[in-house]
Amino acid sequence: MIVFDVIVDGVVRETIRPDTRKLRDISRYMNDQLKLMGRKYGYEVHVKRRMVY
């Protein structure tokens, strides 16, 4: 499973776990989430992807 960590000022603020496994759907979902994260945390938002087994 792919999860995404939202990092603000070097601290992980939240972890996003998409419900779907298809990469096309994950891409659309993450684009929507990134817009929301920009509004919530400002411009210094970094997203790191990682695998959870």
pTM here is 0.81
- Ranges assigned E (strand) in the chain: 2-8, 11-16, 45-51
SS3 content of the chain, % helix, strand, coil (to 5): 35, 40, 25
pLDDT of residue 12 exceeding 90: yes
What percent of the chain is predicted at pLDDT more than 70?
100
Alpha-carbon separation of residue 2 from 9, 27, 41, 47 (angstroms): 23, 11, 22, 12
Other CB atoms within a 10 A radius of the CB of residue 37 amount to: 20
How confident is residue 50, by pLDDT bands cut at 50, 70 and 90?
Answer: very high
Domain regions of the chain by residue span: 2-51
* pLDDT score for 2: 92
Mean pLDDT for all residues in the chain: 92
